[in-house]
Every structure is written in structure tokens, then in C-alpha cells.
Amino acid sequence: MKKNIVLFVLFILPIVAYLFFASGINSFTKLPVITPKIPDFGEWKSLNGEKVTLNNKITILGFSGTEVLKNRGNYFNLNEKIYQRYHDFKDLQFVVLAPLGTEEDVKGILGSLGTFTDVSHWHFVFTTPAEIKLFYSQLKLKGTLNADYGTPNVYIVDKERNLRGRKEKKEYKEGYSTFHPAELSNEMLDDFKIILYEYRAALKKNHNATKQLDVKK
């Protein structure tokens, strides 16, 4: 009897513990969908006149509002805490919807960021305040835009245009405040890493599937 107990403690219990924690890790590495299939930008143009799309890109989405210069510190926070770490990732983009008429202010911000950062993955997309308000309403979020058609929050959108976040009541999180660097360094960075983990796991799965097809041929 004692021998069986010792064997259980030495061999079976560690396996059970591993399976328990592994299941917890697997559930943690799926960031819930807050809003599925949000709309794309259509014909709206960026600062250099190019169209920007949410399709097939991991997107950090923001809304500058008309007071973009007043809130420029938020973009420096986001740039330092998230962008500079991951801007070399080719399938990542940072997109900010901005009201028409703020183009010169945006040029100033990008110029300042560009003195110490490659800003090629920063995209400010311009449209009317009414269109920005309509687009935001289609995200179906609990938060709202302020009177200037902006918000300090940014949102994580996956390659299928699903807006991702935390759905638990105690930890509900649909956006991340760029006004608070600690929130970017903690909650947002943690959730963003989960999205990257999902993406890399999918790439690995597709690669293995392709190799299997090649072997069968």
C-alpha cells in the first residue's frame, strides 16, 4: 500500500498537475472576441493618400479626435511601450482615425516620432467626424467617443477584423488607455502577446500541414 502511494506521488501526481496547468495556459492563450467582424475603412485615405485596410493585419486601432496635438503625449506613450518593441513585425500596423482638417497636426506628431522611430507602420486615416462617429458605433463597445470625436483608448483588432479583449466581468477590457503608461506596459502588452502567440501558432500549424501535404504527394 505504501509503495503504491509513493509511486502515485512520484509519477501520477506530477502528470495530473501538469495537465491541470497546461489546460489553464491553453485557455489563457485565447484572447476573447469583443466584437466580431468590425467594418473596414473603405475609401478613406491616409496622410500620404494611400488606402489602409484592416484585412490580414494585426491592428492597434485608435481615434485621435480634433485635439490631436493636445493629446500627442498619448501617442508617445504608445510608441514607447508597444510600437518600438514590435514595429518590425510586418503584419502589424498602428492605425488612428482622425478628423479631416487635422492633417498638419498629425504631420507634426509623426515628424517628432520620426526623429527616433521608424514610423512606417503608423497610419493616420482621415474622414469626417460624422463618419468617425458612425464607425465607432459599429464597434459596439461600452465606451464612447468624447466631444472631440476621440478617445485615449486603443483597441486590438486581429487579422479577421475581430476586436479582441477581456470579457470577464471583473477584468472586462475592450480598450487600453494610452494616457496611462502602466496600463500599456501591463494589460495591453500581456493581451498583445497573446495575439502574437495565436498568430505564430497558426503559422506553425499551417506550415506543418503544408509539409504533410508535400510528403503525401
pLDDT in tens, 92-148: 999 999 999 999 999 999 999 999 999 999 999 999 999 999 999 999 999 999 999
Residue 196, in any domain of the structure: yes
Condensed to tens digits (0 to 9), the pLDDT of residues 138-154 reads: 999 999 999 999 999 99
Per-residue confidence (pLDDT) for residue 25, from 0 to 100? 39
Write the DSSP assignment of 20-50 as a string of letters: HHHHHHHHHTSPPEEESS----TT-EETTS-
pLDDT given for residue 202 in this prediction: 78
Residue 89 lies in a domain: yes
Distance between CA atoms of residues 20 and 16, nearest Å = 6
Quick check: is 217 in a domain? no
- Maximal C-alpha separation, the chain: 81
Regions of the chain where pLDDT drops below 70: 1-29, 205-217
Domain limits for position 144? 33-207
Burial label for 54, CB within 10 Å (0-12, 13-18, 19+), is buried
Residue 66 CA: distances (Å) to CA of 105, 146, 149:
9, 10, 7
Percent of the chain having pLDDT more than 90? 73
Residue 13 lies in a domain: no
Q: Give the H or E element holding residue 200.
A: helix 189-216
88 belongs to a structural domain: yes
The number of folded domains in the chain is 1
Establish if 172 belongs to a structural domain: yes
8 found inside a domain: no
CATH number at residue 172: 3.40.30.10
